[in-house]
Amino acid sequence: MITKINTVALYVTDQERSRAFYVDVLGFEVRTDAQMGEKGRWLEVAPPGGQTAFVLSDAVAFGKQDRVGTSADITLSCDDIFALHESLVAAGQSVAEPEKQDWGTFLRVTDPDGHTFVVSG
């Protein structure tokens, strides 16, 4: 029986730039940072205590240049969407005001390679 989603691969052009965004801006932690042979580096980041992680995969090493900035629709969650918005603005990120809908409040955040996520809170 499947008990959780372990990782989701995001193909990126610059692993260090992406690591900085996810760790320094969004507050994720590095779970794994190791060499994996000819495919380069396995760089896995996740929210503290989260069960699911993103693998920031070098698009060139995997022949996935056409996948940079595209992904499945992924929704993240947070405890306080307005505090998150303030911290993103303070970090110099371009982000719209949180949007209120009947089902809840959310904002969209985009990483340096164009992956866009909905964050609900």
Domain CATH number, residue 30: 3.10.180.10
Residues 115 and 83: their CA atoms lie apart, in Å, by 22
pLDDT value at residue 102: 84
pLDDT value at residue 90: 96
Asked if the structure places residue 14 within a domain, the reply is: yes
Residues in the chain predicted with pLDDT less than 50, given as ranges, are none
Residues 16 and 100: their CA atoms lie apart, in Å, by 34
pLDDT value at residue 39: 79
pLDDT value at residue 53: 94
Asked if the structure places residue 66 within a domain, the reply is: no
pLDDT value at residue 1: 58
What's the domain range around 97? 7-61+72-120
pTM for this structure? 0.80
pLDDT value at residue 3: 74
Asked if the structure places residue 1 within a domain, the reply is: no
Q: Based on the structure, what is the number of domains in the chain?
A: 1
Asked if the structure places residue 67 within a domain, the reply is: no
pLDDT value at residue 66: 92
Spatial strand order of the sheet with 53-58 comes to 7-12, 53-58, 41-46, 29-35
